[in-house]
Amino acid sequence: MSFEIKLPLFEGPFDLLLFFIERDELDINDIPISKITEDFLSYLHELEQLNIEVASEFILVAATLMRIKSKLLLPRPQLDEEGNEIDPREELVKHLLEYKKYKSVLAQLQDMEAAEIDKEKRGNLVKEVKFLSESVNVESELQDVDLYKLLKVFGKVMERYEIEKNKPRHEVVQYPYTIAGQRTFIINELSNKPRLSFTEVIEQEPSKIAVIFNFLAILELLQMRYIMMHLGEGFNNFWIEKLEEVSAE
């Protein structure tokens, strides 16, 4: 038995974000970044599984959502010149509100354009096509074709083919990591060791993307009060260990 999966197509990443916000009746000025990010990435993964190429603007917005989520997980908020806390979502909300404003008038402009087109006289289309077909003598045009003209056309076609073939292409590589999965990995490591250093975590998965996912997972565990952190001295390292109440559970 075969199943057919149909996904809605969106004109751009902001169109997709507005769809999630309206679907879940979320407050656009207080976006739950974690949920929106998971929904956005899940949609992109569905496109990749169907062999649909993901546009670069979707990838850029996905990276922006991950960056905002990381900033929200950091224990020390950023402050402006007046000492007020800076909301990392502020710029994203501003762009979404602008996009929503322009999108709201787009349908009205399209209706106005259609109304104006209907007012124009289209003429007798059948008569115009018949006149054009009679004015073009295909046989007389073929008599003027020679080998030089054919080679010239062939050269232009091959030149266009080379340009299309050598166009830069981007490929999205899906890494086998998730923040939830790395949280479980770190908790399991702490079950075997009472204390774990970040350098030990890096040594097990030394790739750059693995280090990022492990660091984000540690930040989430800190926020969830599952672990506590001890900072190192003299070099960039720290140690983590389970909180006593979590160990007791």
Token duo for residue 28: 């656009």
Q: Which domains does the chain have, with CATH numbers?
A: 13-100 (no CATH), 179-248 (1.10.10.580)
Q: Any alpha helices (H) in 5-84, and if so which ranges?
A: 13-23, 33-49, 56-73
Q: pTM of the predicted model, to two decimals?
A: 0.39
For residue 1, name the pLDDT band (cuts at 50, 70, 90).
Answer: very low
pLDDT exceeds 50 at position 158 = yes
Average pLDDT over the chain, rounded to an integer: 76
**20-29, 79-88, 127-136, 140-149 — most confident range:** 20-29
What pLDDT does residue 145 have? 65
Predicted confidence at residue 119, as pLDDT, reads: 67
Digit-coded pLDDT (tens) for 46-73: 777 766 666 677 788 888 888 878 877 7
DSSP run (H or E) holding 240 = strand 238-242
pLDDT digits (tens, 9 = 90+) for 70-118: 877 776 667 667 767 777 778 888 888 887 887 777 777 777 877 776 6
